Chain A
Amino acid sequence: MTENQVPLLEFRGINTHYGAVHILKDVDLSIFAGELVCLLGGNASGKSTTLKTLLGMVTPTTGDVVLDGEIVTHRSTSYRVERGVTMVPENRRLFKRLSVRENLELGAYLRTDRDGIANDLERVFEMFPRVKERLNQKSGTLSGGEQQMVAVGRALMSNPRVLLMDEPSMGLAPALVQTNFELIQQIHEEGVAIFIVEQNANMALSIADRGWVLQTGKVVLDDSAEALLANPELRASYLGESGNR
């Protein structure tokens, strides 16, 4: 990616504590406009905290979160969502008692441009014709794959510049994981920067431009996707020796 650009979303020396527990240790990340990057890490490596800090649900003890050149460390989640950051949460987390339409509309909660919202709704329908069929159904009655579509659609309704995806392949049937990653690429091609947080390193690296590896709150590897895929250490610990995991 172009090095002279201002990153869209940036972590500058972030340290996060939960009480006395030091979670993130001097984490630096930068996501540029239109990039597809991924953050890999096992359980308890600080992946979720990274996302929560990016979204303002957790305030770091030191360091800054920078959104498009503006320091937003102490800004609310809604402030950041309004400026183009949004997340597809782990396990989709739809509002199950609300209809599919209401879920999508809530994605556009902060927007006031009626025409833009209508356009984005059409865009979601184009991407997922199935969603249009289920529009008035309670979202809790959908299948896992359909719920994933609504969750992605809901995130797109906020017209994001950067889309954070928390474990997109978690809890999906293997066949759906592939479709899901194709979908992520499709959204990426429309110019949305994507930040994937995954345990499924192989799949994530196969579509990403760059990646980081997080281990107990520290970034231990920071490289291009090809380099990471070829990295013997990573192959051993995440990908399995044959690389088929």
Chain B
Amino acid sequence: MSVDDVGELDTASQAASTFGTNVTTTYDAKPTSRVLWVDRFLTFIRFVFILVISVGLLAFIAQQINPQNPFAQWINPDATGLTAAQFKGLLVTGLAQGAMYGLIALGYSMVYGVLGFINFAHGEVFMVGAMSGMITSNKLADAGLWEDAFLFCLLFIVVSSIVLSTATAVIMERIAYRPLRGAPRLIPLITSIGVSFFLQNVSVVLLGPGAKSYPALPSWLSQKRSLIGFQIEGTKLVVLLTAAVSMAGLWYLVERTKTGKAMRAVAEDKEIAALMGIDVNRIIVTTFAVGGAMAGVAGILWGILFRSVIHTTGFLPGIKAFSAAVVGGIGNLGGAMAGGLSLGAAEATAPLMLLEPLGVDGVSQLRDAVAFAVLIFVLLVRPSGLFGERLSEDERA
């Protein structure tokens, strides 16, 4: 390189920066000069969403105040409205399910944070947890321990489910994803769909295609008890408590331990993390393991809430948990939990609070539609999710 070269380089970089500013200005100018029909359409959709939500809520409030008022009569004369007790019941049910979605969502979010791809087989890890809980709980019930020492049994099935789900997630990473580490992100994504089908089929081969049930829960657990003005079934209380404990444990691991620090470092910059002496592969495995453990806990919660599992159990909760992770801001752990809770609460209450007042038929069948409408709405209004950071261009890659 000669002196002249250096000079040229400088001019070249100056030229590049001038060019850069030109490019930015043109980009900035574009949207104001020409609005694409797609943008108009999206604005329209946003408007419709907000309209449905506000009119539905207004009609609901109108009905609650006075069922005979003309506005409510005009919108839907047959609406029955909700009593306070019904509303609280729906909310608690929604939150219990939402806590379960949140626990699954953590796995999606953590793996996305570290590897930048969506592990669609994560729903099946959850299914494996639910299946393992089904097997162990029935064995314990046969041994006559289920009724007598329920809390011990619960602990036992949670631990064994965590072990099995963690093992599934770790083996999955080692066999299916690690060989594809350098590949474009679409490839592990498609692989994860394959892994998902594989795990479902393994379940069919090992346990048969029919639905299998958990033993009946002890009656003292299913009783309702009142707590700060809410009538809560014991099962839902157990679900909420277990989720809270798991989340607290995860928070401690990620924010307060050396491993957690290493996980966050790897999520941000693998090369520099390796330079610090962090074994990046080990941390990635740990991430899968922790996500798997959370899914295992969620599997047991599913078993307690619904008492029935089948090989496709992982699919819908998995997709909803993924939505919850996106709603909360993918890669953000608190966001995943908040996303899960709000999605659960929304799908439980929105059909009766928004759709029934609007005169939609068969609202109780529309839970899933509501859940995905929430996803679409959040993506339209705040694409980075409720708690997501805005990604810079190079981070988005």
Which chain A residues have a beta carbon within 8 Å of chain B's beta carbons?
42-43, 55, 57, 76-78, 81-82, 86-87, 89, 93, 95-98, 102, 105-107, 109-110, 154, 158, 236-238, 240-241, 245
Q: How far is the CB of B115 from chain A (nearest CB, A)?
A: 17
Interface check B24, CB cutoff 8 A? no
- In the assembled complex, which residues on chain A have CB atoms less than 8 Å from the CB atom of B264? 95, 97-98, 102
A98 touches B261 (CB 8 A): yes
A97 touches B6 (CB 8 A): no
B275 touches A77 (CB 8 A): yes
Interface check B164, CB cutoff 8 A? no
Q: In the complex, which of the residues A106, A107, A241 contacts B262, with contact meaning CB atoms closer than 8 Å?
A: A106
Instruction: Give residues 272-290 of B contacting A (CB, 8 Å).
Output: 272-279
Interface check B265, CB cutoff 8 A? yes
Interface check B8, CB cutoff 8 A? no
B3 touches A109 (CB 8 A): no
Q: Mark B330-345, 1 if CB is under 8 A from A, else 0.
A: 0000000000000000
Given pairs A96-B268, A102-B264, 6 additional interface contacts (CB within 8 A): A76-B279, A93-B271, A98-B261, A110-B276, A236-B3, A240-B3
Looking at A86, A96, A109, A236, the one whose CB has the most chain B CB atoms below 10 A away is A109
Q: In the complex, which of the residues B258, B269, B271 contacts A109, with contact meaning CB atoms closer than 8 Å?
A: B258
Q: How far is the CB of B21 from chain A (nearest CB, A)?
A: 19
A81 touches B272 (CB 8 A): no
A81 touches B268 (CB 8 A): no
Cα–Cα, bound, A241→B4 (Å): 11
- In the assembled complex, which residues on chain A have CB atoms less than 8 Å from the CB atom of B277? 77-78, 81-82, 109-110, 158
Count, A-B residue pairs, CB within 8 A: 68
B269 touches A95 (CB 8 A): yes
A107 touches B276 (CB 8 A): yes
Interface check B1, CB cutoff 8 A? yes
18 contacts between A and B (CB under 8 A): A77-B274, A77-B275, A81-B277, A95-B264, A95-B268, A95-B272, A97-B268, A98-B261, A98-B264, A98-B265, A98-B268, A102-B261, A102-B264, A106-B261, A106-B262, A110-B277, A237-B2, A238-B1
- In the assembled complex, which residues on chain A have CB atoms less than 8 Å from the CB atom of B276? 81, 106-107, 109-110, 154, 158
Q: How far is the CB of B335 from chain A (nearest CB, A)?
A: 14
Cα–Cα, bound, A10→B262 (Å): 30
A106 touches B3 (CB 8 A): no
Q: In the complex, which of the residues A43, A57, A102, A238 contacts B274, with contact meaning CB atoms closer than 8 Å?
A: A57
Cα–Cα, bound, A236→B6 (Å): 11
Cα–Cα, bound, A236→B3 (Å): 7
- In the complex formed, the residue of A with least CB distance to B266 is A95
- In the complex formed, the residue of B with least CB distance to A88 is B275
Q: How far is the CB of A120 from chain B (nearest CB, A)?
A: 14
- In the assembled complex, which residues on chain B have CB atoms less than 8 Å from the CB atom of A77? 274-275, 277
Q: How far is the CB of A141 from chain B (nearest CB, A)?
A: 13
Cα–Cα, bound, A245→B5 (Å): 13
- In the complex formed, the residue of B with least CB distance to A86 is B275
- In the complex formed, the residue of B with least CB distance to A107 is B276
B6 touches A87 (CB 8 A): no
Q: In the complex, which of the residues B261, B271, B272, B278 contacts A78, with contact meaning CB atoms closer than 8 Å?
A: B278
- In the assembled complex, which residues on chain B have CB atoms less than 8 Å from the CB atom of A241? 3
- In the complex formed, the residue of A with least CB distance to B278 is A109
